[in-house]
């Protein structure tokens, strides 16, 4: 994972949905199609050139984001090796991400709002993610389990459908809008080439019909 890691906070694990209560796929599609982003988008000032992969995070790097409720979340890289980063927030939630799986789910988590668990994640095709540009598309399969014995699997399909100008506490940015969707959630990352950082992250939870939005307010890269 590169610097494109505005933390999914405590929201990257699916709410467990027993198969007997699973919503039919056609209905999920209909519900999702009716949803619009809560992020205010404007036209970019000029078309964006493709954006190369940012440098990797190193130990001691931090991101501070603010949610809809005004609460700040500080996340710090506490460990890194050739293939993964380990992040931790101010409440002790610790999670691991793979460097070669941008916009994928966590590989594992501990001490977070959901029971400790892990994912097995695989790319489903060899289409490029970087350089970022409109029209890119890729997907991941993931199989997950937690310490309570629950398990799940889904496919996260991702694409870059558009460019958008967004205004945040850090300023106004022309961004690539990266959208990923699985059986439970739809995610949007607004990635600004100006600082090679996610400046806004949004998650729509289909089952709850609710949206969470986070803005990056500061970040440091060691």
Beta bridge partners of 191: 176, 198
**18-29 residue pLDDT tens:** 322 233 333 333
Read off the pTM. 0.86
Confidence of residue 106 (pLDDT cuts 50, 70, 90): very high
- The larger pLDDT score, comparing residue 11 to residue 155, is at 155
**129-182 residue pLDDT tens:** 999 999 999 999 999 999 999 999 999 999 999 999 999 999 999 999 999 999
Buried b (16+ CB within 10 A) or exposed e, 124-163: eeeeebeebeeebebbbebebebeeeeebebebebbbeeb
**37-78 residue pLDDT tens:** 689 999 999 999 999 999 999 999 999 999 999 999 999 999
HSE at residue 18, side-chain half, CA atoms within 13 A, is 2
Confidence of residue 36 (pLDDT cuts 50, 70, 90): low
Mean pLDDT, rounded, of the chain: 87
pLDDT at 221: 85
* pLDDT, mean of residues 207-219: 96
pLDDT at 38: 80
Cα gap 72→34, rounded to integer Å: 30
Residue count (the chain): 222
Confidence of residue 12 (pLDDT cuts 50, 70, 90): low
pLDDT at position 8 over 90: no
Number of C-beta neighbours around residue 8 at 10 A? 22
pLDDT at position 90 over 80: yes
pLDDT at position 192 over 90: yes
pLDDT at 4: 56
CA nearest 53: which of 87, 101, 122?
101
Cα gap 214→192, rounded to integer Å: 15
- Domains along the chain? 19-220 (2.40.360)
Confidence of residue 219 (pLDDT cuts 50, 70, 90): very high
pLDDT at position 116 over 80: yes
- The larger pLDDT score, comparing residue 8 to residue 210, is at 210
């Amino acid at each position: 994972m590169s610097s494109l890691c505005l933390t999914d906070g405590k929201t990257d694990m699916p709410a467990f949905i027993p198969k007997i209560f699973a919503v039919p796929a056609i209905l999920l599609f209909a519900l999702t199609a009716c949803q619009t982003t809560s992020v205010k988008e404007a036209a970019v000032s000029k078309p964006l050139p493709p954006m190369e992969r940012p440098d990797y995070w190193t130990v001691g790097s931090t991101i501070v984001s603010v949610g809809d409720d005004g609460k700040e979340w500080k996340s710090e890289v506490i460990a890194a090796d050739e293939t993964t980063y380990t992040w931790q927030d101010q409440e002790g939630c610790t999670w691991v991400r793979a460097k070669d799986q941008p916009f994928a789910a966590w590989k594992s988590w501990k001490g977070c709002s959901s029971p400790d668990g892990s994912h097995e994640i695989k790319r489903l095709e060899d289409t490029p993610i970087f350089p970022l540009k409109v029209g890119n598309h890729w997907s991941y399969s993931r199989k997950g389990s937690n310490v309570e014995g629950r398990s799940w699997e889904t496919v996260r399909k991702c694409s870059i459908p558009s460019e958008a100008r967004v205004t945040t506490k850090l300023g106004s940015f022309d961004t690539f809008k990266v959208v990923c969707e699985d059986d439970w959630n739809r995610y949007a990352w607004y990635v600004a080439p100006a600082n090679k950082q996610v400046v806004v992250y949004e998650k729509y939870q289909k089952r709850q019909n609710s949206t969470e939005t986070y803005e990056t307010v500061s970040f440091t890269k060691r």
